[in-house]
């Protein structure tokens, strides 16, 4: 369906735009949900973003949202908005397999807290998006919508790809190292990893419980704000948006040594656009324990993964992919004293990080080493997003440009604990560039009488002989 006033299809709109159409009764939640389901039917055979779709249930929910509107009850900017849920997050009555044979057939009886809050805000749950096995490194079948021969990232691969392919207006992912921000960056959309524990993990399958974060993926920072406001815990003291100008820090090391030159160039250009919009930019020295704290986080992650999975692992080792199996085996060999010491180093590094924000408001870095790697055997390297997950501070990625091959590049912003709104306000400076991009199209998609300009590059099948090495962690 296209709107008469714009000639655009409903799936082309941002969450904020379609929310205004629903609020003003220009379109109905039923029409919007049908548009998303039709888009999925036309294109998901290319992208493979969905583990399972709940079309009838979504349409029933959309009808209820329409009935509320007719009764004069508008629940806010998520009223009637189709969203996706990563398949490690419980939705009542819908299978949650976490990309694994081990959990195949498991049907939760309750919604996770994040899903419950989305429903209260009026969101329409389309279904479960694909994830890497148990949210680690063994890839899902999902492909990058910008080039199907490239990874969409992981582990929230389906969530990011579904948003990028315009299947839904937002999706929920999780991050233990880089699993919201890296796929968002690779797929050319926006992602927020909130402050640790700001979004409830109740009903979310753990990976490493002291590092797991739940957060939204959407097309723009403004869209992320609408979802974040709905899912964040109300009992936490949030710092509201600061208002311009911001002081943006650029780190002196760690984030640039192995980063692709095209990524560095796109990063510098994005920071320059923030500066032109009123932000002050300065170089900052990372604290002395920064690298040690990151390495300690990897130790903590391995032990916690092994602890959670040990019972299943001992009874069904063949049910695990090779990458997750290797992590569990290494975690089982780490002594308890090493885990405790790693937590101590991690906490000490986090305290030093707190001092960083005394001179700046936000730290800016590349979101990944480069564009999404070619091949589907790896989800890419989380090294640039992992520090802020390990330390629990909020971080955001927004599109920053394009590689020479036409793949997205991402900018990462990080801030002090509970300053999530600062990141979203700063990221919103780049929203116009995101919204102006032409939509992704696919050769077999059927759109109706109007043609849609394609921005997709020629697709190639992955070369089995290519280097598909995985980052260590």
The CATH number given to whatever domain includes residue 428 is: 3.90.1300.10
Instruction: Look at residues 343, 376, 409 and tell me which one is the last residue of a structural domain.
Output: 343
The question of whether 179 is a catalytic residue gets the answer yes
320 and 175 in one domain?
no
The question of whether 97 is a catalytic residue gets the answer no
297 and 273 in one domain?
no
Q: Name the stretches of the chain with pLDDT < 50.
A: 4, 446-473
For residues 52 and 95, is the Cβ–Cβ distance under 8 A?
A: yes
Q: Is residue 459 part of a domain?
A: no
Q: Is residue 68 part of a domain?
A: yes
Whole-angstrom distance, CA of residue 365 vs CA of residue 388: 11
The residue from 156, 179, 221, 386 that is catalytic is: 179
| Residue 359: count of CB within 10 angstroms of its CB | 11
For residues 340 and 348, is the Cβ–Cβ distance under 8 A?
A: no
Q: Is residue 447 part of a domain?
A: no
Whole-angstrom distance, CA of residue 317 vs CA of residue 307: 14
Q: What pTM does this model have?
A: 0.92
The question of whether 338 is a catalytic residue gets the answer no
Whole-angstrom distance, CA of residue 319 vs CA of residue 419: 40
Q: Quick one: tokens of 265?
A: 């160039």
Query: Phi/psi of residue 129, each to 5°?
Result: -90, 150
The domain tally of the chain equals 2
324 and 227 in one domain?
no
Range of the domain at 331: 292-343
Q: Is residue 445 part of a domain?
A: no
287 and 188 in one domain?
yes
According to DSSP, the residues that pair with 248 across neighbouring strands are 281, 362
266 and 241 in one domain?
yes
Instruction: Look at residues 281, 316, 343 and tell me which one is the last residue of a structural domain.
Output: 343
323 and 272 in one domain?
no
For residues 418 and 198, is the Cβ–Cβ distance under 8 A?
A: yes
349 and 332 in one domain?
no
Instruction: Look at residues 343, 378, 413 and tell me which one is the last residue of a structural domain.
Output: 343
Q: Quick one: tokens of 85?
A: 């849920």
The residue from 28, 86, 97, 100 that is catalytic is: 86
Report the relative pairing of strands 170-175 and 213-218 from DSSP bridges.
antiparallel
172 and 40 in one domain?
yes
Whole-angstrom distance, CA of residue 77 vs CA of residue 304: 37
166 and 138 in one domain?
yes
Whole-angstrom distance, CA of residue 50 vs CA of residue 99: 11
Of the candidates 365, 367, 386, the residue with the CA atom closest to the CA atom of residue 299: 386
Q: Is residue 457 part of a domain?
A: no
The residue from 100, 155, 156, 386 that is catalytic is: 155
pLDDT computed for residue 471 by the predictor: 32
Whole-angstrom distance, CA of residue 457 vs CA of residue 404: 11
Whole-angstrom distance, CA of residue 349 vs CA of residue 39: 46
For residues 342 and 302, is the Cβ–Cβ distance under 8 A?
A: no
218 and 87 in one domain?
yes
220 and 252 in one domain?
yes
Q: Is residue 453 part of a domain?
A: no
Q: Is residue 470 part of a domain?
A: no
Residues in CB range of 199: below 8 A, 6 or more apart: 114, 213, 214, 215, 228, 231, 232, 233
Q: Is residue 452 part of a domain?
A: no
297 and 265 in one domain?
no
Whole-angstrom distance, CA of residue 182 vs CA of residue 190: 10
């Amino acid at each position: 369906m296209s709107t008469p006033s714009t000639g655009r299809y409903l799936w082309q709109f941002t969450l904020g735009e379609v929310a205004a159409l629903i609020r003003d009764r220009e379109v109905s939640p039923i029409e919007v949900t049908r548009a998303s389901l039709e888009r999925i039917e036309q294109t998901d055979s290319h992208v493979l973003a969905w583990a399972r779709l709940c079309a009838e249930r979504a349409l029933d929910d959309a009808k209820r949202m329409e009935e509320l509107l007719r009764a004069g009850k508008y629940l806010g900017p998520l009223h009637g908005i189709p969203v996706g849920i990563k398949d490690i997050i419980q939705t009542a009555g819908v299978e949650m397999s976490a990309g694994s044979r081990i959990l195949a057939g498991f049907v939760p009886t309750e919604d996770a807290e994040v899903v419950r809050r989305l429903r209260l805000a009026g969101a329409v749950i389309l279904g479960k998006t694909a994830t890497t096995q148990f949210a680690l490194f063994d890839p899902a079948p999902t492909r990058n919508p910008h080039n199907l021969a490239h990874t969409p990232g992981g582990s929230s691969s389906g969530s990011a790809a579904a948003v990028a392919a315009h299947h839904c207006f937002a999706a929920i992912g999780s991050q233990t190292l880089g699993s919201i921000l890296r796929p968002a960056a690779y797929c050319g959309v926006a992602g927020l990893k909130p402050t640790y524990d700001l979004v409830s993990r109740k009903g979310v399958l753990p990976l490493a419980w002291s590092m797991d974060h739940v957060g939204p993926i959407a097309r723009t920072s403004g869209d992320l704000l609408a979802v974040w406001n709905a899912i964040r815990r109300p009992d936490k003291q949030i710092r509201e948006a600061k208002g311009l100008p911001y002081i943006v820090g650029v780190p002196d090391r760690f984030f640039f040594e192995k980063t692709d030159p095209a990524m560095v160039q796109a990063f510098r250009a994005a920071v320059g656009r923030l500066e032109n919009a009123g932000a002050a930019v300065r170089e900052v020295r990372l604290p002395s324990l920064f690298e040690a704290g990151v390495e300690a986080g990897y130790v903590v992650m391995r032990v916690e993964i092994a602890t959670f999975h040990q019972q299943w692992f001992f009874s069904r080792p063949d049910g695990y992919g090779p990458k997750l199996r290797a992590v569990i085996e290494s975690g089982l060999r780490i002594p308890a004293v090493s885990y405790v010491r790693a937590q101590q180093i991690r906490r000490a590094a986090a305290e030093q990080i707190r001092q960083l924000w005394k001179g700046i408001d936000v730290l800016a870095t590349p979101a990944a080493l480069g564009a999404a790697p070619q091949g589907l055997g790896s989800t890419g390297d989380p090294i640039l997003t992992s520090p802020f997950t390990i330390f629990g501070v909020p971080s955001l990625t927004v599109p920053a440009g394009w590689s020479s091959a036409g793949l997205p590049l991402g900018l990462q912003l990080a801030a002090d604990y509970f300053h999530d709104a600062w990141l979203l306000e700063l990221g919103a400076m780049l929203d116009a560039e995101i919204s102006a991009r032409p939509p992704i199209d696919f050769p077999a998609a059927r759109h109706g009488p109007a043609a849609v300009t394609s921005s997709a590059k020629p697709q190639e099948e992955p070369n089995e002989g290519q280097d598909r090495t995985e980052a260590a962690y």
